[in-house]
């Protein structure tokens, strides 16, 4: 991640949406509630009160949690670095309104979290202050959307005369941005959080909430410090459960004054840099042509799949293979992220979902005439079992992608020529070097949140899904079809959504058809 030189929006940052338990009274109210609840989790975490996690009797590394807050990716030449500040001494949040940046302490002097009315009053004060200004603020955060080497040079210049304000942003618990437009659906919100108003973003921060004028919530995360399923989803679950205990009551807020307006001493050249960065982000967003389909499939979920003695994750992965095989007419290498938190500071490994068993099943399901339902079910069961074995190998550190990456990095560090394996076309075709046409992740959580990410390649697809007891939710991302890339057939996120829904229904029908037939024998 840190060696990547491309802009973070359009690169490795991830995004998501969150549905609070109660409708917001106002944008200010929702912003205050998010900051207040997040601060409580921050205190819980810094006090060491978050329960260590286990999985199947294995303790899991909690290292990522230490970098969820007070963390910033700082740009550098050729490689960035992570700046993690002490959460027991840096207890402020940053709020961005119309390009103006503010900070305020969410803790009292004796270490408690300020009550919600106090937090809401400060947020109201910031909002009113920004509204009274005749022009928007400088929007320095637009620079964080630049290519990393360019931003590294600009940050050094910025720090020379703005070290205090820069430090306040980079050491903050989290950032929250006031959005300027409502969303017709959350797909619009995802795009806004990801590469919307760059004057009101700080893409280097681990966590940036974006709240629309009517209180809709999306978020943007810098990916290098932590993986969303391992850290952000537990945070959002905590926030949601805490907000459930705080019913919204309409009230007239008085503007607080216990906040600081961050000042920026900028030259004319730096102002030009900021506006050029914002313009470049607009061009980038137009070029990305991101298409998002967010859906909750309610025909069945984890309970139903497990009742058939099948792995729910493997069931969805095979369905993705079948959907894409039908859409593209060929089998594609596929990435599924898998945590390796059984190991010290473990992050992820790749489950290569495009197994020979999955291919055999997909071919059988698309043959004319189609083999018997009994035969197809056997092939589905084999594909499901093969995926389970790949999953367990990855969990145990027996995948191949991270080992191959490590060997390549060692060769680079030692000044050796790039080994021939990494130059072989078959390596890229298999997904090596981050060229997987299908990129997926199981980010299962409660119904109130869903995350997503960009495809790895221009003609690829990103599928992030969440397995519930009786439903399956997903966020699918693609770029608009490009005949030069995909042979003219083209597919959009909506097409992948339709194909995945149909694949799940066909597989479910297969399971039940044969099951009923066998029960009659």
Q: Dump pLDDT digits (tens) for 153-184.
A: 999 999 999 999 999 999 999 999 999 888 87
> Where in the chain do CATH 3.30.559.70 domains reside?
14-46+69-288
Nearest CA to 264 among 145, 401, 160?
Answer: 160
The whole-angstrom separation of Cα 249 and Cα 518 is: 57
pTM metric for this prediction: 0.91
How confident is residue 521, by pLDDT bands cut at 50, 70 and 90? Answer: very low
Nearest CA-CA partner of 143 in 15, 1, 8: 8
Q: What is the pLDDT of residues 276-326, one digit of tens each?
A: 999 988 887 776 556 676 778 888 889 999 999 999 999 999 999 999 999
CA angle 29, 30, 34 (to 5 degrees): 120
Q: How far apart are CA 126 and CA 161, in angstroms?
A: 24
**What integer pLDDT is reported at residue 488 of this predicted model?**
44
Task: Count helices and strands (H / E) in the chain.
Answer: 14, 18
Which CATH superfamily does the domain covering 291-520 fall into? Chloramphenicol acetyltransferase-like domain (3.30.559.10)
Question: Which of 337, 453, 475 is closest to 12 using CA atoms?
Answer: 453
Overall average pLDDT of the 452-464 stretch: 89
d(CA 74, CA 325): 41
CA–CA gap between residue 364 and residue 380 (Å, rounded): 10
C-alpha separations of 159 from 97, 151, 270 in Å: 22, 12, 12
Q: Which has the minimum average pLDDT: 95-104, 129-138, 263-272, 426-435?
A: 426-435
Cα–Cα dist 129/95, whole Å: 12
Question: Is the omega angle on the peptide bond into residue 369 within 30 degrees of 0, that is, cis?
Answer: yes
Nearest to 229 by CA among 71, 395, 433, 449: 449
CATH 3.30.559.10 domain residues, the chain: 291-520
Residue 205 per-residue DSSP state: B
pLDDT tops 70 at residue 110: yes
For 71, the token pair is 């963390």
Residues 6+ apart with CB under 8 A from 405: none
Q: What is the pLDDT of residue 518?
A: 57
Please state which architecture CATH assigns to domain 14-46+69-288: 2-Layer Sandwich (3.30)
Q: Which residues are catalytic?
A: 223
Q: Does the pLDDT value for residue 97 go beyond 80? A: yes
- Closest to 42 (Cα-Cα) out of 276, 207, 200: 207
Environment class of 283 (CB within 10 Å of its CB; exposed 0-12, middle 13-18, buried 19+): exposed
| Exposed/middle/buried for residue 78 (C-beta within 10 Å: 0-12, 13-18, 19+) | exposed
Q: Residue 290: its pLDDT value, please? A: 63
Burial 353-389 (b: 16+ CB within 10 A, else e): bbbebbbebbebbeeeeeeeeeebbebbbbbbebbee
Predicted confidence (pLDDT) per residue in 232-249, tens digit: 888 999 999 999 888 776
Helices (H), ranges, 27-77? 27-46
Q: Are 217 and 17 in contact (CB under 8 A)?
A: yes
């Amino acid at each position: 991640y840190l060696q990547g030189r491309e802009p973070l929006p359009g690169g490795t940052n991830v995004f998501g949406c969150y549905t609070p338990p109660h409708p917001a009274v106002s944008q200010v109210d929702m912003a205050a509630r998010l900051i207040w609840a997040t601060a409580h989790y921050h205190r819980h975490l810094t006090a060491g009160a978050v329960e260590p996690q286990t999985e199947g009797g294995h303790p899991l590394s909690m290292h990522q949690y230490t970098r969820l807050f007070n963390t910033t990716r700082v740009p550098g030449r050729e490689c960035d670095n992570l700046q993690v500040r002490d959460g027991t001494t840096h207890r402020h949040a940053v709020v961005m309104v119309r390009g103006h940046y503010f900070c305020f302490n969410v803790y009292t002097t004796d270490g408690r979290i300020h009550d919600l009315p106090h937090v809401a009053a400060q947020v109201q004060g910031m909002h009113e202050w920004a509204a009274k200004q005749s022009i928007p603020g400088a929007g320095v955060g637009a620079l964080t959307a630049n290519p990393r080497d360019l931003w590294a040079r600009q940050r050094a210049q910025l720090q020379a005369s703005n070290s205090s304000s820069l430090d306040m942003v980079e050491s903050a618990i989290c950032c929250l941005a006031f959005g300027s437009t409502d969303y017709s659906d959350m797909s619009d919100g995802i795009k806004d959080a990801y590469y919307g108003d760059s004057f009101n973003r700080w893409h280097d921060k681990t966590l940036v909430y974006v709240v629309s004028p009517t209180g809709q919530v999306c978020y943007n995360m810098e990916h290098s410090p932590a993986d969303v399923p391992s850290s952000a989803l537990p945070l959002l679950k905590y926030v949601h459960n805490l907000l459930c205990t705080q019913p919204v009551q309409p009230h007239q807020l008085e503007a607080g004054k216990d906040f600081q307006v961050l000042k920026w001493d900028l030259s004319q050249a730096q102002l030009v840099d900021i506006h050029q960065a914002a313009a470049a982000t607009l061009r980038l967003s137009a070029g990305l042509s991101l298409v998002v389909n967010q859906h909750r499939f309610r025909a069945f979920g984890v309970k139903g799949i497990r009742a058939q003695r099948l792995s729910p994750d493997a069931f969805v992965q095979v369905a993705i293979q079948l959907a894409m095989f039908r859409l593209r007419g060929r089998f594609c290498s596929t990435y599924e992220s898998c945590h390796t938190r059984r190991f010290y500071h473990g992050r992820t490994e790749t489950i290569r979902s495009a197994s020979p068993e999955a291919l055999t099943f997909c071919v059988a399901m698309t043959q004319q005439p189609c083999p018997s339902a009994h035969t197809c079910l056997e092939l589905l069961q084999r594909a499901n079992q093969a995926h389970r074995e790949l999953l367990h190998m990855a969990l145990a550190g027996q995948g191949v992608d991270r080992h191959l990456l490590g060997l390549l990095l060692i060769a680079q560090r030692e000044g050796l020529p790039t080994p021939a394996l990494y130059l072989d076309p078959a390596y890229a075709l298999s997904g090596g070097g981050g060229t997987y046409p299908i990129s997926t992740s199981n980010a299962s959580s409660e119904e109130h949140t869903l995350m997503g990410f960009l495809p790895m390649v221009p003609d690829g697809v990103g599928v992030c899904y969440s397995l519930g007891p009786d439903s399956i939710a997903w966020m699918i991302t693609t770029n608009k079809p490009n005949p030069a890339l995909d042979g003219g057939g083209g597919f959009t996120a909506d097409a992948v959504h339709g194909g995945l829904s149909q694949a799940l229904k066909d597989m479910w029908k297969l399971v039940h058809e044969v099951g009923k037939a066998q029960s009659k024998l």
